Amino acid sequence: MGGERLKIILSLTPPLLIIFTLFFGGIFYGFLQSLGYQPAIGKYEINFSAYYNVMFSERYAKLFWTGLGLNLWVSFASTFLAAVFALFGALAIRKTFFAKTICNFIYSLNLPMPHLVVAVGIIFVFSQSGLLARFASQIGLIGSPGDFPVLVKDKYGLGIILAYIWKEAAFFFIILMSVLQSLGENFEELAQSLGANRWQRFRYVILPLVMPNLFSASIIVFAFSFGAYEVPALLGVIYPQMLPVMAFEFFLNPDLNARSEGMALSIIIAIIVMILVVFYFWLTQAKIRKD
């Protein structure tokens, strides 16, 4: 028995060591710095002034709260829309039709595509001189590029949302396809034979069955889009600015005092994501207990 225990400890130590020193160590050190502890520039006191500055000081408060609002809007909108598109795509594509394999491949094509490339693709397609604007001008809808609506680098984060929809819809699609495949069509046929119409079959049969997987995938997508840097950095504007971009810019600021504020911001992002995940686990656990 003792030998087995030693084996367990020895096997688990290397990956745990990496995660503890690099991941948790990084978070812990970032947290220390956010409290103002910066031995590199001779600051040893510990206080919450960086958090206060970021959230309530006249200089940053407006930037922070609009940024937080943008973060919530972008993450909610893109998660919800990507899930809806993927759900309809997955339901429609189950039937056999011409070129199904190709369509299937295209629908999952964005899955391995790096977010960075998707963001560049959104610029190419949706910018004011992009592919869509050119189509629109060919059919006489618009004259100059300025007539095309600003969809990329816009105040409302539309370009960022588009990029996340593009990318995450493929992710939802794959998950939904495998759930639907494992369910088969028996439930639906049964409901149909009992007289359920199209909408009732969707609302009372399919939706409850795919909901658990859809919901856990949504949490992953939401948490990711809330804390990711590349897409908002390429497709966002200076004001309002999403929090990860703001944190990164604070951090790169030559003024070393801004570094604490950047760390504080990144800790705030992490805390919000953590609250969300805990809430999710609590929700699913509560549901399991109820059932």
Partner 1 sequence: MNNNLKKINIYAIYLGAIILILPLIAFFINAFSFRWFYPQVIPKELSLQAWVRLKLIPKPGQRTFEGFIDLWASNPAVIKALLNSLSIGFLVTIVSIIIALPAARVLGLLNFRFKKLIIFIMVSPTILPPIAFVLGLNINFISWGFSGNYFGVCLVHLVPIMPYVVLTMTGIFANYNPDFEHQARTLGANKTRTFLLITLPAIAPGMVVAALFAFLVSWSQYLLTFLIGAGKVMTLPLLVFSTASSGNPALTAAISIIFIFPAILILFFTSKFVSGESGATSGFGKI
Q: Show contacts with partner 1 in window 79-98 (CB under 8 A).
A: 85, 88-89, 92-93, 95, 97-98
Binds partner 1 by CB under 8 A, chosen from 51, 60, 64, 166: 166
Q: How far is the CB of 113 from partner 1 (least distance, A)?
A: 6
**Least CB distance from residue 62 to partner 1, whole Å?**
22
Instruction: Name the nearest CA neighbour of 65 among 268, 279, 251.
Output: 268
Least Cα distance to 240 among 60, 66, 56, 57 occurs for: 66
Query: Between 116 and 135, how does the x/- string for binding to partner 1 read (CB under 8 A)?
Result: xxxxxxxxxx---xxxxxxx
d(CA 220, CA 16): 22
Helix and strand element counts for the chain (H, E): 14, 0
Residue 103 engages partner 1 in binding (rule: CB under 8 A) = yes
Q: Shortest approach of partner 1 to residue 205 CB, angstroms?
A: 18
Sign of CA dihedral 205, 282, 23, 36: positive
For residue 46, state whether it binds partner 1 (rule: CB under 8 A). no
- The b/e string for 103-137 (b: 16+ C-beta within 10 A; e otherwise) is eeeebeebeeeebeebbebbbebbbbebeebeebb
Residue 70 near residue 158 (C-beta atoms within 8 A): no
Task: Kindly state whether residue 256 participates in binding partner 1, applying the rule CB under 8 A.
Answer: no
Tell me: does residue 290 bind partner 1 (CB under 8 A): no
Dihedral (CA of 210, 212, 218, 220) sign: negative
Decide if residue 35 touches partner 1 (CB under 8 A): no
**């408060």: which residue's tokens?**
61
Residues 209-238 touching partner 1, rule: CB under 8 A, are 213, 217, 220-221, 223-224, 226-230, 233-234
Segment interacting with partner 1, rule: CB under 8 A, options 48-56, 58-66, 114-122, 283-291:
114-122
| Among candidate residues 210, 215, 154, 204, the one with its CA nearest the CA of residue 178 | 210
Report, in Å, the least distance between residue 29 CB and partner 1. Answer: 4
**Helix, coil or strand: residue 241:** coil
Tell whether residue 179 is a contact of partner 1 (CB under 8 A): yes
158 forms part of the interface with partner 1 (CB under 8 A): no
**Segment interacting with partner 1 (CB under 8 A) among 42-50, 68-76, 200-208, 272-280:** 272-280
Q: Please say which residue, 29 or 48, places its beta carbon nearer to partner 1.
A: 29
